[in-house]
Chains A and B, each alone.
Chain A
């Protein structure tokens, strides 16, 4: 655990040193703030309901695009510059490296989300809000991010080119974000149900309505687990025998 935290701290420091953290946070606040409070067609005052459904929907898409940008360099850059050899020959396991990087990305997203707490406070001043839905929405965004981060880390582990890692992460992500949902809708029966279950949207929507269901939690944790396991397997690939 301690070793994981050492990696996490380094990665977080590197996010803030390289301005990536500030850019991501400002852009995230900019996008979500604009659509939540300013756009003429969907802003909160126009809808006239004291909830953050608009914010959660925009956050759902913004994070989908931003997270690959965070994760793309995580392992790809280490492989390219050779620093992975430094890490792998120190007293730390591949699993701790992957977990540390995962935590760093997740913490940055949580910091960005924490910056939107004023939205919550403002809305709760405007009318009576459903606190369950709010908490569920935030929880949904965190779990969704964790899922995409683990998939992004996997994408970053299979190449040493950051751009390729970014695109692969988006490609994998778009299935979970959109395509499984659409295919599930058009294909009925068993396959349709499976695809529907695989879609992030289904689970995110039910969480953001304030329904915290173990099925959704199991889903998110499975995605995280699979992504991280694959990323770790790719990192350990050097030990496979040809």
Chain B
């Protein structure tokens, strides 16, 4: 099921929380929303799930507009809201049954769906407990279970891994990857490595606008531009510095703080310096201990784009 978002805008008074964003998500794509707090991630999700109506613009799921057919759209979406609100006075099984009934799961299938969800989310040992007796991690699993109980074609997960321990995080990521093969998934997070690990595509949002869109690879390449190298050469530091700078392809050379013999070399735009550095060392009979490229981290891309 594809999602088309068209010129979506949400105003709170004068402030535009989401400012005219448009994008498209295809079936089977896992898309990660990335952005600082207050960037408009949750607001966008709330509009897609029909919790709030947009100030202008539209969202369509397989050509069905959220404005014209909210009931039908809601049936096809599984949503895990930001703080994972739950009816804490209900036992897990009862709660899942309640959600399944509201979402219109067939009566005969409800019990088997609940069993499936309990197994999938690892709730078996806790299933008869009331939700208020559960730890945060288990509540998060209940939140995921209720989002998926009606086997929706679209999953919208607002920070699905908050409050989970590292083992659980890995499990949930695996689960999302698995689900992402058949379903369309949109998730948000501030944890960059998580988005990188689970998503096919990343949208970086800042102040209500999309500032970057692409796979983590393409985003890294885009922001990188110039080649960056780490070089370790065993020789007189100041001489190495001078010689490196004199190479035709090199723009800047900075010694690495606290490590003798290490330099960070930035090449001129569109140029490569590895071969020149190697040749230099051979010519001077220096020992080249290390020569490696520095990959831009997603963190850097994120900071560049949102600061």
Is there an interface contact between B51 and A238, defined as CB atoms closer than 8 Å? yes
Q: Is B246 an interface residue (CB 8 A)?
A: no
Question: Which residues of B (257-272) have their CB < 8 Å from a CB of A?
Answer: none
Is there an interface contact between A90 and B13, defined as CB atoms closer than 8 Å? no
Is there an interface contact between A10 and B85, defined as CB atoms closer than 8 Å? no
The residue of chain B having its C-beta at the shortest distance from the C-beta of A96 within the complex is B102
* Complex: A242 Cα to B15 Cα, angstroms: 11
B-chain residues with CB within 8 Å of residue A242 when the two chains form the complex = 11-13, 55
Is there an interface contact between B102 and A91, defined as CB atoms closer than 8 Å? yes
Contact of A3 among B46, B72, B81, B102 (CB under 8 A): B102
Is there an interface contact between B89 and A18, defined as CB atoms closer than 8 Å? yes
What are the interface flags for A189-210 relative to B under an 8 Å C-beta threshold, 1 for contact and 0 otherwise?
Answer: 0000000000000000000000
Return B85 CB to nearest CB of chain A, in Å. 3
- When A81-B85, A93-B71 are in contact, do A88 and B50 touch as well, CB less than 8 Å? yes
Contact of B51 among A18, A83, A89, A93 (CB under 8 A): A89
Q: Is A122 an interface residue (CB 8 A)?
A: no
B-chain residues with CB within 8 Å of residue A81 when the two chains form the complex = 85, 88
Q: Is B99 an interface residue (CB 8 A)?
A: yes
* Complex: A166 Cα to B143 Cα, angstroms: 31
The residue of chain A having its C-beta at the shortest distance from the C-beta of B130 within the complex is A17
* Complex: A14 Cα to B98 Cα, angstroms: 12
Number of chain B interface residues as a range: 20 to 34
Q: Is A86 an interface residue (CB 8 A)?
A: yes
B-chain residues with CB within 8 Å of residue A92 when the two chains form the complex = 102
Number of chain A interface residues as a range: 20 to 34
Q: Is A125 an interface residue (CB 8 A)?
A: no
- When A89-B51, A239-B53 are in contact, do A82 and B102 touch as well, CB less than 8 Å? no
Question: Which residues of B (40-99) have their CB < 8 Å from a CB of A?
Answer: 46, 49-53, 55, 71-72, 74-75, 77, 79, 81, 83, 85-90, 94, 98-99
- When A82-B81, A238-B52, A241-B55 are in contact, do A91 and B89 touch as well, CB less than 8 Å? no
Is there an interface contact between B85 and A83, defined as CB atoms closer than 8 Å? yes
Is there an interface contact between A89 and B89, defined as CB atoms closer than 8 Å? no
Is there an interface contact between A83 and B102, defined as CB atoms closer than 8 Å? no
* Complex: A157 Cα to B241 Cα, angstroms: 71
* Complex: A242 Cα to B52 Cα, angstroms: 12
* Complex: A18 Cα to B87 Cα, angstroms: 13
Q: Is A85 an interface residue (CB 8 A)?
A: yes
- Among B49, B99, B101, find the residue whose CB has the most chain A CB atoms closer than 10 A: B101
**Residues of A in contact with B (beta carbons under 8 Å apart):** 3, 6-7, 10, 13-14, 17-18, 81-83, 85-93, 238-239, 241-242
